[in-house]
Amino acid sequence: MNPIQSDRGIGLFAVALDGLSRQQSAIANNIANADTPGFQRQVVPFQAMMREAMARGSAGLQATAPGHIGARNASEGIGRFAPLMDTIASGKNDGNTVEIEREMTDLTENQLKFYALSNAMSSKLGTLREILTRAT
């Protein structure tokens, strides 16, 4: 039995890191289109999806290539993190809903969360590596 595949925490870390990565892409897209008339701000609501998955007790991983870690039960996974249009009102005359100050704050917050989660996952993997090396 592979301890990495059977560890629920690693699965949650992997899904959370994927969600943060997709959120980072949406924020970068918003910043790039801050001056595009009519552009609608995009968000990735992965935190709500993560809370839901944790409440269910699952956050399935999706294997996209041979050798990837797959979900134990893919039907319980939280699925893909697709960007959604944010329905906030804008004070701009051109219909663009991006507020650059908000995006820069979101960008910094997202980077800090990614850094913290990647460090936690690294620590978890280090613990598993230590356990496996002592067991052999």
Q: What is the DSSP string of 8-76?
A: HHHHHHHHHHHHHHHHHHHHHHHHHTTTSTTPPPEE--HHHHHHHHHHHT-------STTSPPPSSGGG
User: 43 has which bridge partners?
Assistant: 84
pLDDT the model gives residue 40? 92
pLDDT the model gives residue 89? 63
pLDDT the model gives residue 2? 59
pLDDT the model gives residue 62? 55
Task: List, for the chain, all residue ranges whose pLDDT scores fall below the cut of 50.
Answer: 59, 71-77
First to last CA, the chain: 14
pLDDT the model gives residue 67? 59
Model pTM? 0.71
CB 98 within 8 A of CB 39: yes
pLDDT the model gives residue 72? 46
